[in-house]
Amino acid sequence: MDNGLADLLHRVVMLLGEAARRRSDGPDGLTYSQIRLLGTLEDIEPTTQHRLAQALLVSDPAISRALRPLEADGLVQITVDPEHARRRLVRLTEAGREAFHTTGKPLDEEFRAALVAAGFPYDRYLEDTLRLAALLASD
């Protein structure tokens, strides 16, 4: 890997870390991981805990642990799947949707602004990412 790309990747990781730390210290108490979980859930709900774990690239027990405080706070609802009693379906509640949109969406904009300010070619990255996603979806 050339040094320019390595330096750029290092800056991106640092920016992500800084944004995540600021968010976890926020008044709503949501961590970056919880925001990411809520956003992913919004994209694929209703879904099983197993599918959510796959989407976030974590283990089933890790998703179960991550969902407990979100369910206790009323941000997600977990129910038994009527088609299979051993599966649990996960849905966002209105409070969970609102928490994501008031916390997660601003984080996305903050992250974009920080990357652009650091000289990262965000618009090109976004275009390339969308093109790659379209190619992968067409297979």
The model's pLDDT over 10-21, given as tens digits with 9 standing for 90+, comes to 677 677 667 666
Q: Which residues contact 102 (CB under 8 A, 6 or more apart)?
A: 28
Alpha carbon distance 93, 86 (integer Å): 22
- What is the set of domains in the chain, with CATH numbers? 3-137 (1.10.10.10)
DSSP string, 60-79: HHHHHHHHHHHHHTTSEEEE
Mean pLDDT, range 97-120, rounded to an integer? 79
pTM comes to 0.64
Cα 24-108-19 angle, rounded to 5 deg: 35
Is the predicted pLDDT of residue 5 greater than 80, yes or no?
no
The arithmetic mean of pLDDT across residues 98-124, rounded, is 79
Q: Which tens digit of pLDDT belongs to each residue from 22-79?
A: 655 554 578 878 888 998 999 999 999 999 999 999 999 999 999 999 999 999 999 9
